[in-house]
Structure 1
Amino acid sequence: MDLKQREAWNENHKILTEIILKPEEHSRTIQLFLSQHALLHSSAIGNTGKLTLEDEVLANLDEKTFRNYPAATPDTKNSIAWHLWHIARIEDMTMNILIANDQQVLFTQSWYEKMNNDFSHSGNNMSEAEIAELSSRIDFHSLIAYREAVGRQTRQVLSLLKPGQFKLKVEQNRIKRLFDENAVTQNANWLTDYWSKKSIAGLILMPATRHNYLHLNKCIRIKDKFHKQIKNPL
């Protein structure tokens, strides 16, 4: 995505924010969400024929760059591996537990085992040793495939919502599921406190869209800086 496409994405996100709570705009909201969301996952998901932000992350991404930790960028030192894991997990748990009250994608098709990763939570409040472990162990191809599966499921969940449902608040029993399923750790309860105050619309406007957008841009900055360091070592 070039600068013009990023500007368009941000403008459309503003429009989505303006219309999402209007039942009479439900069909338009769903279509706009699907368009925005498609640009944050593999181009295979939306079938738009456009290069997406994830496509940009994965272009020329080798495993050394993917796993590099700590990353020497001003806004994050976490690895690309961690960022991709984090956004996939956040989207999975918020869409499938908090909105759909259904099974997480993580526990279908043996994704947990395929990714060779001991962590099932969101990655918030991890120690440096834990981030280093995740970055070195997680299977690259399985993580990308898992994130694609999460994206496809999100589109299914949102397409089934009815007019007026975007106003519904997150149910507290679903917040409890996050802890019961180790999706969120006890020391990250600030995150569940934040989500417990949100409506479904709030989850759509952050975890499912803006949150992905922010972290994918961080991944691009990490990759670009690491590649420049390789080309121009001190």
Structure 2
Amino acid sequence: MNSEQRNHWNGQHKILTGIITKPGAHTEAVAIALELHTALYASEESNGQQATYEDSLWDQLLESTVRSYPVQTPGSRNSIVWHLWHSARIEDITMNILGADREQVLHTERFADRLQTPFLHSGNGMSERDVAALSREVNLGALAEYRRAVACRTRSILSSLEPGQLGMKATPAQFERVREEKAVLDSEQWLMDYWSGKTFAGQVLMPATRHNFVHLNKAMQVKQKLQK
């Protein structure tokens, strides 16, 4: 994603922020959200479209670079693996449990086993030892598939929304599911409190779009540092 594409993405996100809670602008808001989301995640093979941000990240990316931890970059020491896994986990939790009240992709498609890592939570509050273990052990092929599956599910959810639904908040029962499924560590109550203040629109604006953008930026910084 070059500077022109980044400026366009940010401009569209600003427009989305201004209209996403307006029922009369529902169709336009969903269309922009889908555009922004598609620009971040890996594209389907041989679709002939312009490379996405994740496409650019994976291009000529070495496995040693992906798994390297810790890495001294602005605002983060985490590995590319962690950034890709964490952003997908956050989206899976918020879009499916708190948004659509559905099962997580992590469970419906057996990614809890396929990723070959014991960590089922969001990644917030992990120890350095755990981040190192995740970076070293996660199955990279399964991680790429997990991200594609999460992205596909999110787009399906967004496309099926009716006007007004973006203004709804998650119920106490949905937050209890997050706890029961151990999707957030007990030590990270601040994250639950943060989510409790957001509508579905807020979840789309931050976890599903902006949050992914931020972590792809950090992952790209790692790549640029290690593969000059």
TM-score normalised by L of structure 1: 0.95
Task: Tell me, in whole angstroms, the C-alpha distance in 2 between the residues paired with 1:58 and 1:76.
Answer: 19
1:141-166 CA distance string (max 9 Å, x none): 11011010000000011111110111
Alpha-carbon offset, residue 61 of structure 1: 1.1
Write out aligned runs for 1:202-213 (5 A).
202-213=202-213
Task: Tell me, in whole angstroms, the C-alpha distance in 2 between the residues paired with 1:74 and 1:97.
Answer: 32
Q: For the Cα contact (< 8 Å) 1:19–1:29, is it kept in 2?
A: yes
- More off after superposition, 116-125 vs 169-178: 169-178
Write out aligned runs for 1:85-234 (5 A).
85-228=85-228
SS in 1 for 2:44: helix
Matched, 1:11 2:11: yes
SS in 2 for 1:153: helix
Counterpart in the other structure of 2:79: 79
Alpha-carbon offset, residue 48 of structure 1: 7.2
Q: For the Cα contact (< 8 Å) 1:170–1:197, is it kept in 2?
A: no
Counterpart in the other structure of 2:28: 28
Task: Tell me, in whole angstroms, the C-alpha distance in 2 between the residues paired with 1:107 and 1:124.
Answer: 19
Q: For the Cα contact (< 8 Å) 1:93–1:104, is it kept in 2?
A: yes
1:184-224 CA distance string (max 9 Å, x none): 01001100100001101100000000000000011001011
Counterpart in the other structure of 1:232: none
Task: Tell me, in whole angstroms, the C-alpha distance in 1 between the residues paired with 2:34 and 2:74.
Answer: 32
1:112-165 CA distance string (max 9 Å, x none): 111101100010000000000000000111101101000000001111111011
Alpha-carbon offset, residue 109 of structure 1: 2.5
Runs of 4+ in 1 over 6 A off after TM superposition: none
Task: Tell me, in whole angstroms, the C-alpha distance in 1 between the residues paired with 2:22 and 2:101.
Answer: 23
Q: Partner letter of residue 201 of structure 1?
A: A
Task: Tell me, in whole angstroms, the C-alpha distance in 2 between the residues paired with 1:104 and 1:226.
Answer: 34
Alpha-carbon offset, residue 173 of structure 1: 1.3
Q: Partner letter of residue 119 of structure 1?
A: F
Q: Partner letter of residue 189 of structure 1?
A: Q
Assess, with a 3 A threshold, how the Cα gap between structure 1 residues 210 and 146 changes in structure 2: closer, same or farther.
same
Counterpart in the other structure of 1:70: 70
Q: Partner letter of residue 32 of structure 1?
A: I
Root mean square deviation of aligned Cα: 1.1
TM-score normalised by L of structure 2: 0.97
Task: Tell me, in whole angstroms, the C-alpha distance in 1 between the residues paired with 2:20 and 2:117.
Answer: 36
Task: Tell me, in whole angstroms, the C-alpha distance in 1 between the residues paired with 2:32 and 2:74.
Answer: 32
1:82-124 CA distance string (max 9 Å, x none): 1111001000010000011110000122211111011000100
SS in 2 for 1:43: coil
Structure 2: gaps of 5 or more residues:
none
Structure 1: gaps of 5 or more residues:
229-234
Q: What is the total number of aligned residue pairs between the two structures?
A: 227
Task: Tell me, in whole angstroms, the C-alpha distance in 1 between the residues paired with 2:109 and 2:34.
Answer: 24
